[in-house]
Amino acid sequence: MNITGEQNTAKDLELQAKKMQLHWLLQITKAINYDFSTLQLLEVYQHIVTFQLKVSKLVLLVHEGQWRCSLAYGIDETFTNKKLNALLEELNQLHNFESDTQESTKDFETIIPVYHKNEILAYALIGGIDPAGIIKKNELVTFVQTITNLIVVAIENNKLTTEKIRQAGIKKELELAAQMQNMLFPKSLPSNDHYDLFATYLPNQEVGGDYYDYMPINENEFVFCMADVSGKGIPAALLMANFQANLHAFVHVTPSLKDLVKELNKRVFQSAQGEKFITFFVGKYNQLTNELQFINAGHNPPLLVHDKVVYLLNDGSTGLGMFEELPFINQGKVFIPNKALLFAYTDGLTELENDAEEQYGADRLKNLLLAHFNDNGGKLHENLQQELKEFQQNQPAVDDITALSIKFKVTSK
């Protein structure tokens, strides 16, 4: 029995399920953020639950002064007032433990109540869940509960006039999207006899456009990257989620960094139509040859520190998505010496301002890396965060701050 293979398959399926949920959650959040009408929101909700999650029966009951059926899919009969009243009476009895009869709800496997200020605002009833679906039943029900809450609250907000209530709803939506977005980042970074990786992510908003990753290619090589989408919020997060999916799809089948960057540029341009772009640094390291190949597509150049000297990794191209075809691509190559430090970051770090409107800047970052060169990754990032906190004084950060460090140990001979 190939236990490792089965475990990897299970992990792949779990990751795929999480990515699917992230995609759908961001689509709903985008629809809400773009002020879709109630009808449009219900269409998005029904499409996700029935077509994507493979649920064959769905009913959504919403209280709007009085109860009404907002959505019915996969049921034999339409909801007449008489049948709707019978269903609501049974739901009320079940909710208050006054009855265990299930005449009206027998066709549904799960009943999901939606609350607002301790009052039931809606019921979602789902049935015919596909047991062979990629998402497990318990996780599916939890996800449906999440998106049902989002949709129902959004519909309610469509009828509210106060900006305070509307902003509260948006904040909750962004928090949920941020939880899903965090799954784009690696769950853990390696620490072994050859190198240690450590990262810091300080979002300015609930959902941002910064991204870093680590992807082992084989037992001797790995690829790492740092990226930043122009703009902020949900649109930036959606573009970055799509970018991450494309990167993972092509990195293992495209050995050439130039070909990889060309393909990613094409995908970003198709998705953003030139309205947004992504700055991107990608490196491939071989621990047998100690060679680092890299391309810097318009990103802040990472710093390679060794023997009190700081090298800037500049070679590359323009940002991805600026042009349908990249005007040029220069691939850099450097041999990593013993006990070197590589530090990649997004511009939110160096553009952080203090009360005097001074930016933290690249020089301060270089000095910090030289001063704390011998610190391990965790300590280095701890000192960085402390210095940034002291530097900015009372000024809020205006952009996400992301940093990735690689501390190379004694390299191969």
Q: Enumerate residues 6+ apart whose C-beta is below 8 A from 31.
A: 40, 41, 44, 154
Predicted confidence at residue 111, as pLDDT, reads 86
Q: How far apart, in whole angstroms, are the C-alpha atoms of residue 406 and residue 343?
A: 7
Q: Please name the residues in contact with 16: beta carbons below 8 A apart, sequence gap of 6 or more.
A: 134
List the pLDDT tens digit at each of the 413 positions of the chain. 555 555 557 677 778 878 888 888 888 888 888 778 888 889 999 999 998 888 999 999 888 778 888 888 888 656 655 577 777 777 776 665 444 556 667 778 888 888 877 788 888 889 888 877 778 888 888 888 888 988 888 887 776 644 555 566 666 666 666 665 677 788 889 999 899 999 999 887 656 678 999 999 999 999 999 999 887 777 777 888 889 999 999 999 998 999 999 999 999 999 888 788 999 999 999 999 999 999 999 999 999 999 889 999 999 999 999 999 999 999 999 999 989 999 999 999 999 999 999 999 999 999 999 999 888 888 999 999 999 999 999 888 888 899 999 999 865 54
Calpha distance 262→269 (Å, rounded): 11
DSSP strand pairing (278-286 vs 291-297): antiparallel
- What span, in angstroms and rounded, lies between the C-alpha atoms of 184 and 21? 12
Measured CA to CA, the distance from residue 18 to residue 24 in angstroms comes to: 10
Q: Which residues pair with 309 in a beta bridge?
A: 306
Q: What is the pTM of this model?
A: 0.60
pLDDT given at position 97? 46
pLDDT of residue 101: 53
The confidence score (pLDDT) of residue 10 equals 67
Backbone angles phi, psi at 216, to 5 degrees: -65, 135
